[in-house]
Structure 1
Amino acid sequence: MSEDDLEIDTDDLKRRMDGAMASLKTEFASLRTGRASASMLEPVMVEAYGQRTPINQVGTINVPEPRMVTVNVWDKSMVNAVEKAIRESGLGINPQMNGTIIMLPIPELNEERRRELGKVAGQYAESARVAIRNVRRDGMDQLKKAKAAGMSEDEEKIWAEEIQDLTNTAIAAVDKALETKQEEIMQV
């Protein structure tokens, strides 16, 4: 058994935990907070040219003012398809047409809707925590194999602490991101 077999790839574990965090940030960006953001349209797919296409590939998305998002559709024949996709996206926004520009006024959120969004944000955060814990478990499994291959108990303890530190740091980042998002949602 070589010395390399007794090493734990903490860079890979960290990269995978960072991936869970990046995914969480994308999910948070799609939550509407009453403030206009181009990223809120990222999940919207348009039926274009016989296939489902991300909305940012059929038009330019702008945020001209805090409570307005506009989509400037490049192909005039696609305007109705884009409008339909936004209407059916579940964002709760009523598109207004102005030639090839679709205006999306962002309505104020009521208290009940804010609470619902806070719960959804919490669910997203919990999914990220679970993903991070799964990566930790993989790291601990690697550690068990290395110990069976002849790693000393001292080395095993050092690696276990490093894996736990990575996990704690990643979970703390998720908690901080959730706290920030919930404050943003509750802001009136």
Structure 2
Amino acid sequence: MIDDIKQDAQERMGKAIDALGNNFNKIRTGRAHPSILDGVTVNYYGADTPLSQVANISVLDARTLSVSPWERQMTPEIEKAIMKSSLGLNPVTTGDLMRIPMPPLTEETRKNYIKQARSEAENARVSIRNIRRDALGDVKDLLKEKEISEDDERRAQDDIQKITDKFVAQVDATLGAKEKDLMEI
């Protein structure tokens, strides 16, 4: 029973780390990366559709993305969607190929992106601590129902805290790498 609780907590904390990675991918660095456009949706025949489902996104060079729509008439819609997004990108269309140059980051935008990254990391830490709280509550419920001894409860609490510490350290390491990436010129 206790092992199931610890396993569940570990899986959920792993998902929190994955979500943090996805959120970090949406924070733009100076380099081009297709995942920057993950949050962009396009009006595709009346339905909001992710850009990756209506076009091929690739990296031309370190500072340029290439978007080639699968249907030629979607080009203006895709262009509008990219410009409306809060990414600050301006696509350049030549025929059916769209080039998206990544503007260089100013010191101010770097600091804003670092603030955003720290906020995302704090949200992940809070999520991990909430998972710990849930797991400790489950262990206390087992103790109340006299399914485990107090010694087992104490050991389980220590194990859950160690798991939590490991995942919080992972969040901190991921944040450090992202901050370093953002500060590179």
Shared fold (TM-score, shorter chain, > 0.5): yes
**Partner of residue 152, structure 2:** 155
The residue identity in structure 1 corresponding to 2:64 is M
How much does 1:117 deviate?
0.2
Supply the RMSD in Å over aligned alpha carbons.
1.0
* % same residue: 38
The 5 A counterparts of 1:24-35 are: 24-35=20-31
Q: Is the 8 A contact 1:87 1:94 kept in 2?
A: yes
User: How many residues get paired?
Assistant: 184
Q: Distance in 2 between matches of 1:118 and 1:8?
A: 37
SS in 1 for 2:89: coil
**Partner of residue 170, structure 1:** 167
Match for 1:62 among 51, 58, 61?
58
Structure 2, unaligned runs of 5 or more? none
Deviating beyond 6 angstroms after TM superposition, the runs of 4 or more aligned structure 1 residues are none
Q: Distance in 1 between matches of 2:170 and 2:137?
A: 24
Match for 1:53 among 49, 59, 81?
49
The answer as to 2:139 corresponding to 1:143 is: yes
**Partner of residue 18, structure 1:** 14
TM-score by length of 1: 0.95
The residue identity in structure 1 corresponding to 2:159 is E
CA distances 1:162-184 after superposition (whole Å, capped 9, x unpaired): 11011001100000000000000
Q: Distance in 1 between matches of 2:111 and 2:15?
A: 27
SS in 2 for 1:91: coil
Structure 1, unaligned runs of 5 or more? none
**Partner of residue 185, structure 1:** 182
